[in-house]
Amino acid sequence: MNIVQKAINLAAVAHAGQMRKGTNIPYITHPFAVGMMLQQTKCSEEVIAAGILHDTLEDTDVTKEQLLEMFGEQVTRLVEAASEPDKTLPWKERKRHTIHSLQHASIDEIHVITADKLHNLQSIREDLKQSGESVWDRFKRGRVEQHWYYSSIVKALSARKKECRLIGQLEKEVKAVFGSLDWISKKMIDVLFECAYGIDEEQRAKIKEFGLEKLASEISEKAEFNYRNQQNACFEKLRHLSIHGIEFETNSDGPLILAGFFIAIQKRMDWTDQELVDHVKRNLRKI
C-alpha cells in the first residue's frame, strides 16, 4: 500500500463522524479535496499524504508518534506545519502564529497550508450562494476577521507565487468571497476612530452596518484597559505623535483616553507607527 492510500485510510477513520462546520457534510471531504488539489499541482506523494492528514493532529486523536511511525518525519513535519500548536490560545493569537510562520516555511509546507485555505474559501463561497451572509455566524469570528486572516495569508505568501500556483488561486478566491484583498477600508477605519471615546448607541448602529461589532468592541475594551492601567505607555504614545506634529491638550484625561485607543487600534491592526500617524491625522476632526 502506497503512502497516499495509507493516509486516506487513516484520515477516513480519524475523522469518522465529524461534519463540516454548520453543515451535514462529512468532514473527510475537506482533507480529501486538499489532497486532490496537491495531486493536481504535481506535488510529491509525501506532500499529498500530508494534505490528506493535515487536520489529524489538530482535530482528532491521532498523535505525532503515530504519524512518525506510519509516515515518517517528512509527512509528520508537514502536518505539524499546517496545525495550530495550541488550540487553547485566543483565536487572533493562533491565526497570527499561522501567518508569521509562513515567512520561514518551506515550499512543501506552503503547498499544504495554501491548499487547505483555498478549499476552505471555496466551500465558504458555495455556502454563501446557498445561505447568504448568515454563513459567517458559523465561525468564532465573522466576515471582517475572516477577511483579515485570508488576506494576510495571501500577502505573506505573495513572494512565493511562482513556486506555488495555488497562491494565485487563493488570492482570486479571497477577492471572489470578500470583494477585495484589502480586509478593511479607510471608511471602516474612520468608523472605528469615531469610537475613540467609547461606543454609544449611534455609533453602535454604524459599526453594525459595517460588520465591525466584534472588532470595535475588542478595540474599545483594550483601549479602556490601556487608559486605566498603561498610562506611561499612553504618555509615550502622545509624545511620539507630537514629534509628528499631532498635539493634544494635556489639561484633562481626554488625551490619555485617546492614547489608550491609539495603542489598542495600532496593535489590533498590526500598523506601523507611520500608518498610525497617517490614520490619526486623517481622523483628527472626529476625535
Q: Which residues are catalytic?
A: 58-59
Q: How far apart, in whole angstroms, are the C-alpha atoms of residue 159 and residue 224?
A: 38
Residue type, 188: M
H helices present in the chain, as ranges: 3-14, 29-40, 45-53, 56-59, 64-81, 91-101, 107-131, 143-157, 165-178, 186-193, 201-209, 213-229, 231-243, 254-269, 273-282
Q: Can you spell out the DSSP letters for 55-107?
A: THHHHSS--HHHHHHHHHHHHHHHHHHTS-S-TTS-HHHHHHHHHHHGGG--H
Cα→Cα distances 236→38, 57, 230, 233, 257, Å: 50, 44, 10, 5, 13
Alpha carbon of residue 137 to chain centroid: 16
Q: Which of 28, 27, 34, 118 is nearest to 78 (CA)?
A: 34
Backbone angles phi, psi at 118, to 5 degrees: -65, -45
